Amino acid sequence: MSTDIDYYELLEVDRTADDKVIKSSYRRLAMQFHPDRNPGDQEAEAKFKAISQAYDCLKDPQKRAAYDRFGKAAFEQGGAGGGFGGGQGFEGFSDIFENIFGEFMGGGRGGGQRSSVRRGADLRYDLEISLEEAYAGKQATVTVDVAAACEPCQGTGAKPGTGSQQCKTCGGHGKVRAQQGFFLVERTCPSCHGAGQVISDPCGECRGEGRIEKTKTLDVAIPAGVDEGTRIRLTGEGEAGARGGPPGDLYIFLHLREHALFQRDGTTLFARAPISFTTAALGGTIEVPGLDRKRHEIRIPAGIQSGKQIRQRGAGMPVLNQRGHGDLVIQIDVETPTKLTSRQKELLEEFRATETGEESPQSSGFFARLKGVWEDLTD
């Protein structure tokens, strides 16, 4: 293939095409003429080299400006460019992998130095609180062991007064590349272990890590209305990043202790209240202590049955980060007396003697149905 073909013609774009259009066209053509897709095709290999050379020039603003003004002469006789001439061989192979697959591999060769700072890890702390504390909210104090930034070196890992240097093996990229046939192999730099920087004189306190183990005591504001599993985030209170990197976060996971009286479902509180059979029959009132430290008077209607629920509006848990409260639900359990005086027994016997069945319609109806079933079985 002639080397005099215009670079723009090679890439099948106009001279006014922007970087995005040029890159897109290059990718398409490079994939079409790549030697791996055209084994043994010398013409395809030559076309692949030519479009790689063209893209190497046009992707660089300075090279493109020089080419637009002087053409290929700008890169001859020690000019500003290069390309495939001058004994550079298969430099284009590096570009094709770098630009076609670069974003999937974490960036290309031309992206500048690899940052040596890394964000610290997030931490989890499990905190148990009572239902009363969940209702009212509280200030809690927690103690955690974390990897904190080393104070003498301020987290850099280098001895105070010194610093780190760019890794000579990888040039600060944190990775090294090697050409193997048509493929470009990339691996973590063995000298800096991916940091891109090396410390020749490490800090004596942290031994170059930039972090030391430390016990921290923190105050945690627990808002009213939190529930089981509620997560509170303390920004920047996790582990310090390596060599001056930003710290992670600390997450407080809340767990509620079992309560002696109440069970909870969202903002609704449930409780069971045993009442005497006379209160159930005649009606009355009972008092239930609430988590708001108030006594809630519950009215019992006459004739209430076991299992019936009575709802007290607004006496439940507060709504997290909002106004208002849920409800308090009392489930009634009618208790049959087990210890009676002689007089009480006499009174109950007198009551039984006056029963007509209308006092307890459910039980009288049940036995009436049972009698009918028995008669059908004996016919």
Could you list the residues known to form a binding site for Zn(2+), using ranges: 150, 153, 167, 170, 189, 192, 203, 206
Q: Which one, of 190, 186, 153, lies nearest residue 168 by Cα?
A: 190
d(CA 168, CA 269): 66
Report the interhelical angle of 42-58 vs 61-70 (nearest 10°).
Answer: 100
Report angle CA 274, 277, 279 to the nearest 5 degrees.
80
Is the alpha carbon torsion for 278, 281, 284, 287 positive or negative? Answer: positive
Tokens encoding 338: 């087990």
Tokens 């104070």 found at: 151
Report the interhelical angle of 91-100 vs 19-33 (nearest 10°).
Answer: 110
Tokens 């890890």 found at: 121
Residues facing 343 on adjacent strands: none
Count of positions (residues) in the chain? 379
Report angle CA 336, 262, 132 to the nearest 5 degrees.
145
Eight-state DSSP code of residue 74: G
CA distances from 103 to 93, 108, 111, 241 (A): 16, 7, 11, 25
d(CA 173, CA 154): 24
In terms of C-beta density within 10 A (0-12 exposed, 13-18 middle, 19 or more buried), how is residue 302 classed? exposed
Which amino acid type is present at position 295?
R
Is the alpha carbon torsion for 189, 191, 196, 202 positive or negative? Answer: positive
d(CA 344, CA 86): 117
Distance of CA 325 to the CA centre of its chain: 29
Eight-state DSSP code of residue 207: T
User: Are the CB atoms for 250 and 219 separated by under 8 Å?
Assistant: no
Annotated binding site: 150, 153, 167, 170, 189, 192, 203, 206
